[in-house]
Chains A and B, each alone.
Chain A
Amino acid sequence: MFEARLISATILKKILDAIKDLLNEGTFDCSDSGIQLQAMDNSHVSLVSLTLRSDGFDKFRCDRNISMGMNLGSMAKILKCANNDDTVTIKAQDNADTVTFMFESPNHEKVSDYEMKLMNLDQEHLGIPETDYSCVVRMPSMEFARICRDLAQFSESMLICCTKEGVKFSASGDVGSANVKLAQTSSVDKEEEAVSIEMQEPVTLTFACRYLNAFTKASPLSGQVQLSMSADVPLVVEYRIQDLGHIRYYLAPKIED
């Protein structure tokens, strides 16, 4: 028996919004430590890794490890049926071929359940090595989203250059060129507004704007985003989900021929 309850459906809607543009389907691996999903996008350029810890749920029970392959478009249809303040419970029997989403209104007067067929997905699992990154940038997630949106107008690719002075995002194309420089903030009213840079070595890398823009769909999950970079390895874009876990996107760089 698997059962996981979240007080608010909003968080699950936001998580789905953060992955459904990149993935058509995904396997949710459930164990007593929580729920994990790892999947590459269709073109195998990026990897999504979602971790939701069991202690972040209002209720969590997982008697046996189960892997639930879900069509994310179908899941989105179901989650549209939940109000933001509904409690959501995800339930499945051991070895079941369906999963049930139950939504309860705050006054418990409306209860709906939606059963969805599970899929057998033959997905490759990738081992992600522990890496000490040369540069780790933390910045407001909305600022990162804004920069990705703005620079995507100029080119398919964006250069991210990180030094101890700051981080620079650049794009150039037929229209012209764009550069956005962010310096580390000295003092801020709110922690969420801070830009911080931990640098061992300066790094310059090139990435596809399309994927960076897809990652920023996770912005509603967290006020801050963390970018981890080292030369010639995938960028990690991480959004922490308060008290519940995180979503990490790995993006392969573009390299010189």
Chain B
Amino acid sequence: KRTQQSIRNYFNVK
């Protein structure tokens, strides 16, 4: 089973 990641896990909030 694969889980959808959030884009926020990869890019820092400025």
Contacts and interface: CB of A to CB of B under 8 A. Distances in A.
B7 A40 contact: yes
A250 interface: yes
Contact of A127 (B1, B3, B5, B14): B14
Nearest to B4: A254
Contacts of A206: 2
A128 interface: yes
A128 B7 CA distance: 10
B6 to A, nearest CB: 5
Given A47-B7, A250-B7, A124 B2 contact: no
Given A127-B14, A250-B7, A253-B5, 8 more contacts: A40-B7, A45-B7, A124-B14, A126-B7, A252-B9, A252-B10, A254-B3, A254-B5
Interface of A: 40, 44-47, 124-129, 157, 206, 208, 233-234, 250-257
> What 3 pairs between A and B have smallest CB-CB spacing?
A126-B11, A252-B5, A254-B2
